[in-house]
Amino acid sequence: MSASLREVREARKFGLRELARALEVDPRLLSQWELGIRVPPVEEVARILGYLRVDRTVTNRLLFLAQHVKDPNWLDSNPSDLPAALTAVMQCERSASLITNWSPLIIPGLLQTPDYARALLAASDIKVEEVDVRLVSRLKRQRILSGYDPVRLKAIISELAIREVVGDADVMSDQIDHLLRLAVTSNISVRILPGEVGYHPGKGGMFALYEFPSDPAIVLLEHHHASAFVNELGAIASYRKLVKLLSGKALSEEASRALLQEMAR
């Protein structure tokens, strides 16, 4: 539903702030509705569609979705084909000016090779017939890192994730070579956090911090069967501190490339 709201607005050639002014809605709130981070009330969906003069078929479909969508608690545990949480992630990635990834156990999705991604998906509880759909979606997401005005990405990856064999040795060799190629790209920073570093709060799990040109930052937390979006200011500040802590423990970009090159031999 969130992506559809954005599509109908753009199809009518309305800017986000322009529509927000017309509806007397906070543009940050409207942005969150379109990103799928917050679910708009049914009456607000109806008001948006009415103002944009959307046809009855589309209106009925979107109103049905608005009426039956799960109550938002920043959680989505729907493992279906392309769940709402994944749509929101894609919107965040496309809109962000800077993404900071912390990955303690696996290579971040935006930096994965097709074979590495397929091995991960095949080892999960995703149905076999859905693996290809997820794989294509994941690879399409990586396009934000290339082309005109690419998104900046800061990836802090645990050495454990680099040494953990996903697929087989050939898959991992190709994945490390891929990281080395990306690590010299001007908009991508890859830093490895050594395995011998003791306990730190980052071991609690992976997260992504999305920074936007004009909207408040958002943190994505990911787990096996659920994902959570956080935008409360105090929580965001806590994750910024965690990024600073992890950055202080990680190898420099040059030392990280040297470690990757050593592993690639």
Q: Each residue's pLDDT tens digit in the chain (265 positions)?
A: 566 788 788 888 888 889 999 989 888 888 877 776 677 888 888 898 889 888 887 787 777 667 765 433 334 433 344 555 677 788 788 888 999 999 999 999 999 998 998 888 888 777 666 777 778 778 888 989 988 889 999 999 999 999 999 988 999 999 999 999 999 999 999 999 998 888 888 888 899 999 988 778 899 988 766 678 888 889 999 999 999 999 999 999 999 999 999 988 7
Each domain of the chain, given as residue ranges in start order, spans 2-72, 76-264
CA dist list (Å): 253 to 9, 99, 158, 257:
41, 17, 13, 6
What secondary structure does DSSP assign to 173-221, as a single string?
Answer: HHHHHHHHHHHTSTTEEEEEE-TT----GGGG--EEEEE-SSSPPEEEE
Q: Calculate the CA 260 to chain-centre distance.
A: 24
Name the CATH code of domain 2-72 (choices 1.10.3470, 2.40.128, 2.20.200, 1.10.260): 1.10.260
In this structure, CATH architecture of domain 76-264: 2-Layer Sandwich (3.30)
Would the CA dihedral through 145, 32, 132, 154 be positive or negative? Answer: positive
